[in-house]
Amino acid sequence: MKIAVWKNPVTYPVFKGLSDTFGQNVYQATREQLTTDIQNGNAQVALIPTDVALANPDEFDVLPAVAVSTWNNPFALLTVDTLRSGGTMGVVHGVEGRLSALLAAIVLKEHYGTVAALTERVSLPEEVAQDALITIPLEGDVNPASNSAVVLDLGQEWYELSNYPFVWAVFVTRKGEASPSVITTIRDTVAFLDDHRADFAAQWSKDLEIEDFVLNDLRLRLDDLAIASMTELCDHMFYYGVTEEIQPVVLASLPPDESSAP
């Protein structure tokens, strides 16, 4: 079974864990490549950005039980000079930063009363991470740089706004291909990884802060809190123009006699 994983720092521990089990059948891919590979059958399962899955329910089956969510995210940061209620802010992002940019727009508007004008570019300068967010003042709304810049952890901001962890990525198959064997294989593998994360954390990174994040803030279960968070995100995706209607969160399911997690 080929498994494609969104190439993003927050999913890297899962990529490493899956690679330990499935070897070279696991590979990393961009947002656009993930969708293409699933649609063309080049991968049977993909860990894709949550907004892609929620915006395209007719294309994907979302697997139950496991996903990637966090209470905070040191890899999804937004640095701003000022936060003014009623103000405006430009946010430039690449394709890989699309989900973080949407989250930034939600957080800035709902939490701080600041409107974000999002501008997507095909790519960002080489010296900038392709999932980074770059803030710029809009014309006529100049806020000169100051020594009091604020760094927003978008995962933490979402938690403070909604009381839920933010779901960054979910496992999917092509529509109609979420067989019981696929569901149980992914569920059991990621559940094992979750249960033994202390054994793996030191292997993923020698950075103590990253190790602490993996041990304490990275969530690998698609539980009620994560589903509630996805449901709220669906509402925002509609109100922020990502979808034409509010999509329900629908998960693939197992027959009753196979649905109990280990």
Pair (232, 152) in one structural domain: no
Q: Which whole number is the average pLDDT over 146-159? A: 85
Distance between CA atoms of residues 206 and 203, nearest Å: 7
Closest CA to 230 of 76, 51, 70, 105: 51
- Of the residues 128, 162, 196, the one at which a domain ends: 162
Pair (123, 40) in one structural domain: no
Pair (60, 182) in one structural domain: yes
Pair (158, 173) in one structural domain: no
Pair (154, 196) in one structural domain: no
Distance between CA atoms of residues 31 and 136, nearest Å: 25
Is the confidence at residue 165, as pLDDT, over 60?
yes
Average pLDDT, the chain: 89
Q: Return the CATH number at 180.
A: 3.40.190.10
Contact 50, 230 (CB under 8 A): yes
- Of the residues 162, 197, 212, the one at which a domain ends: 162
Pair (49, 116) in one structural domain: no
- Of the residues 139, 162, 185, the one at which a domain ends: 162
Pair (49, 125) in one structural domain: no
Pair (172, 254) in one structural domain: yes
Pair (184, 140) in one structural domain: no
Q: pTM of the predicted model, to two decimals?
A: 0.92
| pLDDT tens digits for range 117-134 | 999 998 888 878 888 998
Pair (60, 84) in one structural domain: no
Cβ contacts of residue 142 below 8 Å, gap of 6+?
Answer: none
Please give the tally of structural domains in the chain: 2
pLDDT grade for 147, boundaries at 50, 70 and 90: low
Range of the domain at 96: 77-162
